[in-house]
Amino acid sequence: MASPQPDWAAIDRDPRFQALHKKKSSFLWGLMVFSIVFYFLLPFGAAYFQDLFKVKVWGPLNVGLLFALSEFVVAWVIAAVYAKRANREFDAMAAEIARDAHNIKGSK
Amino acid sequence: MTGRFKPYLAGAAALFASGLAHAGEGAVADEWKWLTFAVFGGIIALTMYITWWAAKRVHTTSEFYAAGRSVSGFQNGWAIAGDYLSAASFLGIAGLIALYGYDGFMYSVGFLVAYITVLLVIAEPCRNIGKYTLGDILAFRNNPKAAKTIAAVSTITVSIFYLTAQMVGGGVLIKTLIGIDYEVSVIGVGVLMLAYVVFGGMVATTWVQIVKAILLVVASLVMVALVWAPYGFSLPGFLDHAVHDEGIQKQVAKLLGTAAANMTPEELGQRFLEPGLFLKNPIDQISLGMALVLGTAGLPHILMRFFTVPNAQEARKSVVWAMVIIGGFYVLTLFLGLGAALNVGPANIVALDKGGNMAAPILAQYLGGGADSMMGNFFLAFVAAVAFATIVAVVAGLVLASASAMAHDIYVGVIRGDHATPDEQVKAARVASVIVGVVAIVIGIAAKGQNVAHLVGMAFAVAASGNLPAVLLTLYWRRCNTGGVVLGMLVGSFSAIALVMVSPNLTYPQAVIKEAKAVLEGTPAKDAVPAKASEGFVCELFAVCQNAEAAKPAAEAKPGAIENLAKLNEKIAALSDPAELDKAKKEAGKLEKDIKKAQDDLKKFEGQTTNLVGIEKPFFRLKNPGIISIPLGFLMVILGSLLFRDKRAEDMWDELYVRQNTGIHAEGATAH
């Protein structure tokens, strides 16, 4: 921690940081809401839509089992989508701000 | 360091040897015990070698708590899996699937989905602004002493709940599998875990967790391959055999009772793959789901793992790997559970352990060639040893989390005001580990024979209701401050604990006595009871008014076990056919066991009418408090923040928000 403190408020106001913040927030919370809704469909369905869950699709494999298995696939897809976007876009934006942190000053 | 380590190793070996001497009965026959101990010895020796190797590399605080922040994302992914896949998930979920089919598998889903929250909103920000503990994250912009104190109390509470469940479960498991005395296995787990933590810190703990996770995944993959191969690795083919399996059909008929009267055998089998055999209360399920999905992100020993990687990118990578491993493992539980139901049969699994915990080990024995074969016993020994390693590794992670809260947050942060030399800090960490470890052993032995099933649920509920709202709002809400964090964590945690204490999870003496009497003396005939409608949503949650009840058909009188045994003994006296005699004698033995258990229960609870907290009947109807305590936790953080203004928290917001997003000034890796 030998380096002097950057001007945090100035970085926060910097358009590059604001752009990162906006992109990241909407993307993250969107994914978050989607995944929570998708997850709770399973206990809701198992409780209130048993007739649908019992429909056989492929031999004894029914909608309920397929839906439970799809939860795994969706979780993995969400992880992959997020990791890809973060690796490609967010990391580069954050790195650029971090590199430039000491040059961003409070002057308006 | 290694000089101090050697006498300790010898002591541990002597203790384990004394365990051999006490070995009584268990699932493994006496003639194969040596094989079990050889496998156990091998795995213990491997972890001891890791500890010896790690001990030379642990000198600084950062190395002790965070493995020098030099664990790679891939390695940390395995370690998270090793920290998270407890014996409860390996043995417990496989057992639930073996006994209840579909509903057991629903648990698996929640445990994986939980990591989406960790990945998206917790792991990277925490890595960017934290140092070693939950307290560090909360102290960033809140009053450091207040935040560290409450975070440490919460960390220790959650870890002790989780730890007690692991210790008690482990002791019972080892006893059932290989017959080592309960106390000896609890001390064995405690001593081993202390060796890893005290000498090897986070470096040893990480590698023990990695090794254990690999062993667990390999053991499960081999078992699933053997279970699935006879059906040509076809999913419908495999399920089809489960549907047509007589043992599974009988189990469903038993679970459904009179409702199964008009169903064909095939319908019964198919019912095993449909929801509703175990989880009967939808609100309770949703409540459980909330605690799982939000609680994992608030578990201190999981949070702590993100400080072992060099930066936020590696933290992200470690969650993605953890999701691949944990998710893959939970998909396997479907095959392990159904495979055990198909090959061993639900009835035989219940005979060994009522909760089904023996499903996976017994399936291993069957797959190897059965109880009389060497391969079968080797497989069983291997799975038992993996389960043992699982418990030790999970407990080590929990002890490290509590010790860091005690030494880093309370001693160094609050008492010494962050002024302690590096040597003092490492020493404090080791002393705290020993204290927590000894406490864990003492609690483990004291809790022998106690019902601890509610403790893991309680740990998740406290983490979801106390820790997560405080962490999440500190990270993402500008107005959040010390008042909110303290109020939210107090109310969230206490409400979760209080609701569990008055929930159906605990043992209620009157119910146990009634059940024991029914076993001994039988039940009288009952008239049919019509369905009752609920008087409202509140009634589904609290015992203040009438909740909905399904109609109950009339039941005939059932004779008690004492009467049955007398009749059976008369029959045995008259029998001459050896095969029939043998069968009758086995049945008599089972009845005697039931009678003994019922009589023991009666004696144990004689004269008691109230439970631990002094109530006769559950007041809260759900097993999982999340649906109430989680929103309450969030609400209190918001309310506390708005009521008590804190200028520092607001002034620090820009710094916190910029740093969590960019990683500027994040704690770096230490070079070796």
Q: Is residue B655 within 8 angstroms of chain A, CB to CB?
A: yes
Which chain B residues are within 8 Å of A32, Cβ to Cβ? Answer: 116-117, 120-121
B83 HSE (CA, 13 A, CB side): 31
CA distance B213 to chain A (A): 19
Give the Cα separation of B322 and B112 in Å (integer): 9
Q: Which residues of chain B have pLDDT under 50?
A: 1-2, 12, 15-24, 672
Kindly report, residue by residue over B536-589, the tens digit of the pLDDT: 777 778 877 777 777 776 777 778 888 888 888 888 888 888 888 888 888 888
Helices B626-643 & B482-501, crossing angle to 10 degrees? 160
| pLDDT band, very low/low/confident/very high, at A3 (cuts 50, 70, 90) | low
B438 C-beta neighbours (distance < 10 Å), count: 12
Nearest residue in B to A19, CA atom:
B661
What ipTM did this prediction achieve? Answer: 0.92
Which chain B residues are within 8 Å of A94, Cβ to Cβ? Answer: 661-663
Best CA proximity match to B291, nearest among B149, B544, B161, B461: B461
CB contact under 8 A, B275 and A21: no
Q: A13, A67, A73, A82: best mutation site toward chain B, by most B Cβ within 10 Å?
A: A82
Please report the pLDDT score of residue B61 as a whole number: 87
**Burial class, A83, CB count within 10 angstroms (exposed 0-12 / middle 13-18 / buried 19+):** middle
Which chain A residues are within 8 Å of B316, Cβ to Cβ? Answer: 83, 86-87
Nearest residue in A to B326, CA atom:
A72
CA distance B273 to chain A (A): 7
A63 in helix, strand or coil? helix
Q: Is residue B319 within 8 angstroms of chain A, CB to CB?
A: yes
CB contact under 8 A, B282 and A47: yes
Mean pLDDT of chain B: 85
Please report the pLDDT score of residue B6 as a whole number: 55
CB contact under 8 A, A98 and B317: no
Q: Is residue B112 within 8 angstroms of chain A, CB to CB?
A: yes
CA distance B502 to chain A (A): 24
What lies within 8 Å, CB to CB, of B658 at 6+ separation is A6, A8, A11, A12, A17, A97, B664
CA distance A51 to chain B (A): 10
B559 forms bridges with which residues in the sheet?
A: B522
Query: What are the DSSP calls for B595-613, one per residue?
Result: HHHHHHHHHHTTT--S-TT
Helices B653-662 & A91-100, crossing angle to 10 degrees? 120
The bridge status of strand B522-523 relative to strand B558-559 is: antiparallel
Give the Cα separation of B103 and B92 in Å (integer): 13
Please report the pLDDT score of residue B450 as a whole number: 74
CA distance A108 to chain B (A): 17
